[in-house]
Amino acid sequence: MSSIGTGYDLSVTTFSPDGRVFQIEYAAKAVDNSGTVVGIKCKDGIVLGVEKLISSKMMLPGSNRRIHAVHRHSGMAVAGLAADGRQIVARAKSEAANYERVYGEPIPVKELADRVAGYVHLSTLYWWLRPFGCGIILGGYDRDGPQLYMIEPSGISYRYFGAAVGKGRQAAKTEIEKLKLSEVTCREGVIEIAKIIYAVHDEAKDKAFELEMSWVCDESNRQHQKVPDDLLEQAKTAAKAALEEMDAD
């Protein structure tokens, strides 16, 4: 499936004869090689989950956060190059703050997604910039209810019921499609996401990982926050049990 650009891939401002921009596709590959990031829109909110691959046993658990709060009502989980992700999060926070200062109300999630997508797209227009190597899953809860958006390195942004990026995205998407999301609450969603992330984690290729999760839902008062520790532990236990069941077959 992957082909060498052979000369048409040296710059993001060059099209190939078959209409592709290879630099953007290569940026997407950077995302594909990173740990899985999953997001779902449940009945009463959004749940985001990240498979945080641990590169060294010396790292403090809980450091190197991959999920960031953009505003009181929204959060972003980033897959791919972490440093690129930090830039995008900073920009998103700035857009959200600026919108509220001018318009007097929290930025609608749709508007935030459009602005982040526009910013990511910007870096695909100029030869002196390189595209961001990040896939972003943005979840928020505004007056129009909970919404989930995914933004790709090309700058494409769509609204989703369930989305996954990174290594295990194919398997994760299959699992998400099995869920009846319009009936699942966020509490249940947290458990399901944990199960999915544990299931798609490849024990052979990658050693250790840490599960990071956040939610915005009615229960969290429509604020974006880390999933409470007790629920997180509950989810991890359930996920590990489900995994053993699978292995036992």
Partner 1 sequence: MDFDLNAPHSMGTTIIGVTYDGGVVLGADSRTSTGMYVANRASDKITQLTDNVYICRSGSAADSQVISDYVRYFLHQHTIQLGQPATVKVAANLVRLLSYQNKNMLQMGVIIGGWDKYEGGQIYSVPLGGTILKQPFAIGGGYAKLDRSGSSYLYGFFDQAWKEGMSKDEAEINADGVTKNFYSGDSLPLWHEELEPQNSLLDILSSSSPEPMNT
- Contacts with partner 1 by CB under 8 A lie at 102-105, 108, 110-111, 114, 143-145, 161, 177, 181-182
Q: What is the closest distance, in whole angstroms, from the C-beta atom of residue 162 to partner 1 in the complex?
A: 8
C-alpha closest to that of 134 among 181, 84, 91, 174: 84
Taking the complex as a whole, how short is the minimal distance between the CB of residue 14 and partner 1, in angstroms?
Answer: 32
Dist. CA 10–CA 19, nearest whole Å? 15
| E-strand stretches of the chain | 37-42, 45-53, 67-71, 74-80, 134-142, 145-151, 157-160, 162-165, 209-217, 224-226
* CB of 27 or CB of 148, closer to partner 1: 148
> Least Å distance between CB 175 and partner 1?
14
The number of beta carbons lying within 10 Å of the beta carbon of residue 115 is 19
Distance, CA of 244 to CA of 134 (rounded, Å):
32
In the complex with partner 1, the residue whose CB is nearer, 178 or 205, is 178
Least Å from the CB of residue 74 to partner 1: 16
* Closer residue to partner 1 (CB): 177 or 233: 177
Of 68 and 71, the one with the shorter C-beta distance to partner 1 is: 71
